[in-house]
Structure 1
Amino acid sequence: MPAQKNRPNKSLAQGRPPGVQKPKSISRKNTKALINSLHLLEKKKAQAKAKGDKAAEAAADGEIAALGGIEKYQQASLQGQRNDRGGDSSRVLMEWLKPILSTSGLPAAGSLRMLEVGALSTTNICSQSGFFDMERIDLNSQSQGILQQDFMQRQLPTNDAERFDIISLSLVLNFVPDAQVRGNMLLRTLEFLKEPVKDSATALRDFFPSLFFVLPKPCVSNSRYMTEEHLESIMNSLGYTKAQSKMTQRVVYYLWTKSRPLTQTTFKKAELLAGPSRNNFSIVLRGPSDEGHTDT
């Protein structure tokens, strides 16, 4: 698939900060509060930058620094992957895939390629499963086995050998502070996935190539601009079909298969649900004829 035009691949550096090793223990309550606070401040900073308000941008930077900045966020992110906090999100992915992969007759261990965007660990459950040849990237890797790289700046593959059977975007998209860049990021995943193989084993065809996609539950359950139905419409326009989903008290997990041609309908930031307590999470997707402008 050729690269899309008029969609600047902005850096994700102003969004989700990546992980570090060996964090000090942080309570569950403090972990949630810290992540939420830093997320809101990063969004405030991005909005100020978009408006050219240098004073507001500097003020947001100061508040982020006062909370401990990226280092504290990194600690909180890794604390959330501890087994006593529910474990890493790939546990759910493997609950879905292991029964299929175990009986698929794959010729060798690691014969499926996975790209994990925003990787925090090289020892999560999907890495240890033996089914995948893993490639891990993050904005500011501090661990061997995780390449320091911005997905939006990653060189596009030139052949199928450079593409992947599955991409993981676990708690990544919600930390991108620009709604159109979120849409561009989802659109860009198509460039890195292999094309569907119609004559493959039925079980594998139903699950690959695919996108594993995790969001905080409030992004789809308590947003003015997003519902699960609206998200599914966006993903369907990109050519994805929902293969699996699971909603818990805090997060929602999806597995989307790349199964149909891209239609890329325009999805603007439009209020779907009213209410003063709702958040502003949204995804903007521009059609080929749309003028290049940004909704945040």
Structure 2
Amino acid sequence: MPKVRKRKIPVTATVASTSNTSSSSKPEASRAVIRRFHVLLKRKTQLLKATDRDLARKTELANVEHEIEELGGMESYQRMSTIGQGTDRGGGSEKVLIRWLKDKEMHKKEKKLSRLLEVGALKPDNYESCSTWIDNTPMDLNSRHPSIMEQDFLLLDEEQNHLKWDIISLSLVLNFVPEPSDRGRMLHLANNFLVSGGHLFVALPLPCLANSRYLDFDLFIGLMTFLGFTELQRHWKQGGKMVYHLFQKTMDVPLPLTKLTIPLRLSKKMILRTGDRNNFSILL
């Protein structure tokens, strides 16, 4: 069996050794396992989509699947992610979204509950404290709880979800989607699914915007503007690990887009930074 060359890690950070990390609750160990899962699952998707099935690709796919299992599979990934959302580590990103929504006094409005679609939910009760003004629907690709809907956001019925949601949360979701074009489609679907004036919350690892070869803050905001969103809030800090955005839908952008209407800078990777960078990008 031929040896498979190790590929350069494409997205956000150098991966530390994963031996014995899947059972550790230390923050750095949890992050190392999560980063490694992102790399492996992205590569697995690429290999499964490959048109050719030569021996080298089959061998690499088998090696990738074996390493995923060695790390404990998706259960281990989700457990590490849940640990990272613990209150002893500052809690989940929902705290940021709740604070921003309260700043807009959405909790005081005398109307029906705001319908929230929480994509990538690892716990069913992240918004329980807001149940008097938020009707939350938690959803994840691999549900860990009966109250979390197991569903791929990209495969949601477009007609049934058209103008259905008041708020959509994509917290640490886009960076988990393997293909740049699917990330762009996810954001476009969010526009389609939100009511006019609805809110979109996006949380990403900071290096996705601050240290990417192909994406920076200006290009990301330009892409979101093209998709009918206006930026309301942004939070990150130098040396931090996360960046949070709150957008408001200010324009309908019907599905599907045509290539003739998409600016080249939003549909093709273009180098914005050189040097030691990651390859994260979002394309339409």
Q: Deviation of residue 44 (structure 1)?
A: 2.0
Aligned mates of 1:153, 1:73 — CA distance in 2: 22
For 1:200, the equivalent position in structure 2 comes to none
The answer as to 2:228 corresponding to 1:239 is yes
The answer as to 2:203 corresponding to 1:214 is yes
Look up the SS of the partner of 1:209 in the other structure. Answer: strand
Q: Deviation of residue 68 (structure 1)?
A: 1.6
Q: Deviation of residue 159 (structure 1)?
A: 7.6
For 1:62, the equivalent position in structure 2 comes to 66
Aligned mates of 2:107, 2:81 — CA distance in 1: 34
**Contact kept in structure 2, 1:114 and 1:165, CA below 8 Å:** yes
CA separation of 1:45 and 1:24: change in aligned 2, threshold 3 A: closer
Consecutive unaligned residues of structure 2, counting only runs of 5 or more, are 1-21, 254-260
Q: Equivalent residues in 2 for 1:263-274 (5 A)?
A: 264-266=262-264, 267=266, 268-274=268-274
For 1:177, the equivalent position in structure 2 comes to 178
2:250 to 241, 244, 259: 259
For 1:192, the equivalent position in structure 2 comes to 193
- Paired residues in the alignment total 246
The answer as to 2:32 corresponding to 1:43 is no
Aligned mates of 2:107, 2:140 — CA distance in 1: 32
Look up the SS of the partner of 1:256 in the other structure. Answer: strand
Give the letter for the 1:241 counterpart. Answer: T
Aligned mates of 1:76, 1:136 — CA distance in 2: 18
Aligned mates of 2:82, 2:100 — CA distance in 1: 23
Q: Which is worse superposed, 230-239 or 90-99?
A: 90-99
Aligned mates of 1:157, 1:213 — CA distance in 2: 23
Percent identity reads: 40
Give the letter for the 1:269 counterpart. Answer: K
1:141 to 140, 143, 161: 143
**Contact kept in structure 2, 1:157 and 1:191, CA below 8 Å:** no
Please tell me the root mean square deviation across aligned C-alpha atoms, in Å.
Answer: 2.0
Aligned mates of 1:100, 1:243 — CA distance in 2: 10
**Contact kept in structure 2, 1:48 and 1:57, CA below 8 Å:** yes
Look up the SS of the partner of 2:230 in the other structure. Answer: strand
For residues 174-229 of structure 1, the C-alpha deviation after alignment (integer angstroms, 9 at most, x for no partner) is: 011111111111111122111x2xxxxxxxxxxx4011011000100111011011
Q: Deviation of residue 136 (structure 1)?
A: 1.5
Consecutive unaligned residues of structure 1, counting only runs of 5 or more, are 1-22, 197-207, 286-296
Look up the SS of the partner of 1:212 in the other structure. Answer: strand
Aligned mates of 2:109, 2:133 — CA distance in 1: 11
TM-score, normalising length: structure 1: 0.78
Q: Deviation of residue 165 (structure 1)?
A: 0.6
For 2:109, the equivalent position in structure 1 comes to 105
For 1:71, the equivalent position in structure 2 comes to 75
Aligned mates of 1:171, 1:159 — CA distance in 2: 22
Give the letter for the 2:43 counterpart. Answer: K
Look up the SS of the partner of 1:121 in the other structure. Answer: coil
The answer as to 2:218 corresponding to 1:229 is yes
Aligned mates of 1:102, 1:192 — CA distance in 2: 19
Give the letter for the 2:199 counterpart. Answer: S
**Contact kept in structure 1, 2:166 and 2:198, CA below 8 Å:** yes
Look up the SS of the partner of 1:165 in the other structure. Answer: strand
For 2:7, the equivalent position in structure 1 comes to none
CA separation of 1:178 and 1:105: change in aligned 2, threshold 3 A: closer
Aligned mates of 1:244, 1:143 — CA distance in 2: 31
Look up the SS of the partner of 1:114 in the other structure. Answer: strand
Any runs of at least 4 consecutive aligned residues in structure 1 with deviations exceeding 6 A, and if so which?
A: none
Look up the SS of the partner of 1:123 in the other structure. Answer: coil
For residues 55-107 of structure 1, the C-alpha deviation after alignment (integer angstroms, 9 at most, x for no partner) is: 22121111111222212111111011101112010100111111323674323
